[in-house]
Structure 1
Amino acid sequence: MADVKLLGLWYSPFSHRVEWALKIKGVEYEYIEDDLHNKSSLLLESNPIHKKVPVLIHNGKPLCESMVIVEYIDETFEGPSILPKDPYDRAIARFWAKFLDDKMPPVGKSFFLKGEEQERAKEEAYEILKILDDELKDKKLFVGDKFGFADIAANFMGIWVGVFEEASGLVLVTSEKFPNLCAWRDEYINCNENKKYLPPRNELLAHFQARFQAAPK
């Protein structure tokens, strides 16, 4: 049996992308929780460039960057495919995964800023959210008719944004402004097929409520 380890953080959307992929494929793995404030020697050795999670270690060989890891898992292990079979659809899925990785940081940052900085971040976030909302018009999912690569990449929008909204009191995504994105998010959360892969929302909420309460006012 392959030796598979995952270095992660339980509250990280990036770690959960990899966990979701491993579970879809039915891969047995050892999960190792790391500490961003006291990074393990294994993490520093496995990801010496970025020094961050997630890291997948397969038969002693480390891999970094969550969507790179998800694609590797899809290609390496038997089980349901995560990327679409059609080459064009695969390319589109990769495009949106890259877009999400590039554009989600400003959305997340807007919850933690104050005053004018927050207002500027919100404007940037609204532009990004509008692009996603337009893409999802007349579509149930990003690519095809089943949850896959791009939807896994969008897990921050599926779970974490709603948690941040409730924990911080700042609401960015409403059905009035972004109806298609909200419909996608509802499908993401309520789809029976997905529920077994999603992190416990109440635990995420408690964690981030504590972080927002501890943040400087």
Structure 2
Amino acid sequence: MAEEVILLNFWPSMFGMRTMIALEEKGVNYEYREEDVINNKSPLLLEMNPIHKKIPVLIHNGKPVCESIIQIQYIDEVWSDKNPFLPTDSYQRAQALFWADFIEKKLFVCGRKTWATKGEELEAATKEYIEILKTLQCELGDKPYFGGDKFGFVDIVLIGYYSWFPAYQKFGNFSIEPECSKLMAWGKRCMQRASVAKALPDSERVVGYVLQLKKFYGIK
């Protein structure tokens, strides 16, 4: 029986972008289903992720896998014959998982503050965001990718935010490039990969989406 792989996603989600990239990197045939997560979540989404009711949801032969980082690990293990994401060395693997966890806990919450707050809170958020990126840039160092010469787990976890950088900078009134030029060069390098270019939306479309969010939440 042929494998059935379905991805429930919402196009601006940097979390869903991760899962798309992982599937593309492994050459997995999958069906993409766009969800209206704001106004009309599908019955399938609610059935497959009854706890959080969020995207992305990876459905493999009728069984759901939720949470993007877990999905990347799952994809890496199930389709292990091609292009491994995580190192085989236990320490290097632990380091990759550490940085993925750092990204997960820091970037989204702080990034949201760059367009959803104002005044001193916004100023603090933009400073914090740059510091987070500088920490990641330090870990990247002079390597092409976070794992070295090979595009891997941490790159997949982080790269979706690259499509949101212009929106964060526009609404937060700050610039990433001056202090994080190596990280921005890394983003451009990743964008040259077919998997990344397919998964990441145009940044101007993201800016338009954030404008909609600001109106939706009454943020001026």
Taking only the aligned residue pairs, the percentage that are identical comes to 43
**TM-score, reference length from structure 1:** 0.87
1:195-215 Cα deviation digits (max 9, x unpaired): 544424156346336426735
1:118-155 Cα deviation digits (max 9, x unpaired): 11222322321221122222222211211111001002
CA distance in 2: counterparts of 1:206 and 1:159, whole angstroms: 9
1:37-91 Cα deviation digits (max 9, x unpaired): 2212211121111110000111111110001001101110242212223332222
**Greater RCO, 1 or 2 (C-alpha within 8 Å, sep 6+):** 2
Amino acid at match of 1:118: L
Shift of residue 170, structure 1, vs aligned partner:
2.3
CA distance in 1: counterparts of 2:134 and 2:196, whole angstroms: 26
Choose the corresponding residue for 2:59, options 54, 57, 60: 57
**Structure 2 residue matching 1:110: 3-state secondary structure:** helix
In structure 2, runs of 5+ residues without a counterpart are: none
1:18-38 Cα deviation digits (max 9, x unpaired): 011111111111111111122
1:18-167 correspondence runs (5 A): 18-36=19-37, 37-77=39-79, 78-104=81-107, 105-166=109-170
Distance 1:198 1:29, change over 3 A: closer
**Aligned pairs, how many?**
214
Contact map agreement 2:137 2:182 (CA 8 A) in 1: yes
Could you tell me which residue of structure 2 aligns to residue 208 of structure 1?
209
Contact map agreement 1:92 1:143 (CA 8 A) in 2: no
In structure 1, runs of 5+ residues without a counterpart are: none
Amino acid at match of 2:105: D
CA distance in 2: counterparts of 1:132 and 1:23, whole angstroms: 25
Please, what is the CA RMSD of the aligned residues?
A: 2.2
